[in-house]
Structure 1
Amino acid sequence: MPQHAPVRLTHFLPSLLLLTGGLVAVWQPVLNEFFTSLFNVLPTLLLLLGGAFCIGYGRQRELFLLAAVYLGYFLLDTQADHFRATGRLLAQGPLVFHLCSLLLPLLYGLYGIWRERTHLLQDGLARGAVLVAVFGVAAALARRFPEPMLDWLVAVRWPALEASWLALAQIVYPAFLVAGAALAAQYLRQPRLLHAAMPVGLLGLLLMLPQVFTRPGALNILTSQVMLIIVVAIAQEAYLMAFRDELTGLPGRRALNERLQRLGRQYVIAMADVDHFKAFNDTHGHDVGDQVLKLVASRLRKVGGGGRAYRYGGEEFTLLFPGRDIEACLASLEVVRQAVADYPLQLRDKSSRPTDHEQGRQRRGGGSAKPVSVTISIGVAEASGARRTPEAVIKAADQALYAAKAAGRNCVRTQGMNRRGAVRVAGTKR
């Protein structure tokens, strides 16, 4: 199962900044010609580029989110253009506006919580069928019964809640409330950047609709920002998938390779390996192996001395110290090695694990858990005249790691070259 970060306010920050920027642009008395032209084409451009991005990554949910928002924009833009040109609405303008106001949050919320399935083609056809059916039925009813539908949409159902500042029909607000609650629940259940972006995008739609006819450019600007919020969230998640290890949360091998290209002349690389990791998997199963990797990663993440930890692959990790020498890093490496060794990993019998959170809390620390000792071995090397490339330093650190394993594991070993060119291996005290 994918691992996700805990609930964080920073998940919402990029989306809120984009929405705030859109609102600032909307509130400007006059936009210059460049920005006016930009926001006129930006929704279509975002649909094409974002749609291609979604198709390439198999992101059906986000593709149809963009399509639903753009379809609402297209219908409302026709009405807004006529209103700005003539000063009056088309005959069907009020009905189109209120229908879009009701259907947009419902479709947005539906597609937002509709997760992708294994069969992408079938999933895409189902989502497309829903979009066509909803707008097709709405268009047919509007054509056949325009006045009854408009009366039903604008009817005041709750007189006590009627207020002048509520610019939309009353029935629209419950639609936004239901969609917002569903998207918020999804984020709380599975916190991730995209799930945080969706409620912010819904808020953007709610702020946009009352200003479609009252503020020139509001429709184009806020539609662009809502679509941009979705596209940016997709790009952020794609970046995390490529550069961050899903299990441990550490930067992954690709992130390490990128960082190695930007190092100076002086740096230290340490390779850390979990001792007897295969035995953990064979004896306790891969779930326990994952727990071990998470434990080690959580300790390596706290390494001092200006170092940063990366998941190199399997049970192996890399610690990078830019601008440091070995002597400046050994103490920090010894601290994290000891931190791993001193942490007793509690193994619990899954068959007797309580389902109730309170029972589980009361049983923590009891005698039923079996403590397991986890240790790591670390090999360290630094850039020098004989090792001028990161690849050579990593190879030397690997040799030092082998020496640490041969020395009995759970220790730090350094490797370098003396003046005569002979290999010297030095160890830290345990």
Structure 2
Amino acid sequence: MLEQLEAEFPEHEPRPSDAPKALEGIRVVDFSHFIAGPFATMIMADMGADVIKIEAPGRGDDLRRYPPLHPGLMHGAPFLWNNRNKRSVGIDLKSPEGLQIVRELIATADVVVENFSTGVMQRLGIDYDSCRKLRPEIIYCSVSAYGREGAFADRLGFDPIAQVESGFVSMNGYADREGVRALSPVMDISTAMMACNAILGALVARERSGRGQAIEVSLFDNAVLMTGYATLQHLFSGVDTQRHGNTSPDTCPSGVFEAQDGSFYINCGNDKIFQRLMSQVIDRADLASAEVYGTGPDRIRRRDELFAILGEAFARQPWSYWQPRMRAAGVPCGQVRTVGEAIRSPEARERKLVSRIPHPKAGWIPNVRLPIRYSRTPVVDPVAAPAVGQHTDEVIREILGYDEDRLALLSEAGAFGDQAWLRASEDKS
């Protein structure tokens, strides 16, 4: 399935073997699923934390079934994307024996992360109050749709719902049609980043005080933040942000233009950039100093005529002509690319964003690295996302010290669900 890509992406370059890890010694028990929770814990795993992903035996995280699926794996590309460097433990949380195992794991942990519907963890007896009795200094992060308390605590939420209800969708697209959602799960990803930041802050606070705490991050709260400064613009003016397509309501000229051979975007965020664009890029020094284009508001009022001038100039030459001129002039610009073009771009190759990592069944899989670059504690070498319950025995033996007989008794009691799924998976490998 991936063989045709082997020549395109290099093998991952290992980190120095003696380099320390930023979160070495930190254990995370992760009950989260889909994106917002798992992406947060993957960031921590990449930093060196031991992330133990608790999954329902057999079925596991629902994201495993998001396409495209690899024929040799029991999951698809989206799951691989946000679950690397974790250990999967398949536990039946409806089983008393299974719950006892997770309680014992929590008692050894630094962090618990969950994003179940409100009330689920309390019904299971592993909510924050219960967990801090097991581990007083525990840091307990709940990722929810609308918060764990109040009139909307029962509401379920997914990324697109947060996009529409926060006002984010109303800002994006063109003025003559309905607003458009971002296809990328930007609210899930940014919520994950916020959750990870919150956990790291709580770890620092615990280092100073010795005390853990509960953390709550709401998808909706985060989505409102992701509308950016539009919130305060509205409160200052009383006007809702309008859709401007690819142009900017705040700066001009900013938008998509056409060279002879394709589209590109320029962003003139201030007067000096505009002046450099006109004088050094399109050789119109007369317009760079023209009073009618002297300020941002002046240019915004004359956007159509200014875009027409630029559009006519840019159409005369290919991108390969304009890009070096704008780069030399210090004009922010970029090609309009597809995702496939972006990950194969010179910039992505220079930054080594995509590489190949080994996989026990598929041979190798592609990997997209975090944008974090530590000088002293580089992120860990990526290990592919696990199969459901792949590390159940390993984790329970290593952390809890259970022997083979006790594992067998727990298996018979149903703590690990129906083991037929695991045996079938092992047979395939």
- TM-score bucket (shorter structure): under 0.3
Greater relative CO, 1 or 2 (CA 8 Å, sep 6+): 2
TM, length-normalised to structure 2: 0.27
TM-score, normalization: structure 1? 0.26
Bigger Rg over Cα? 1
More helix per residue: 1
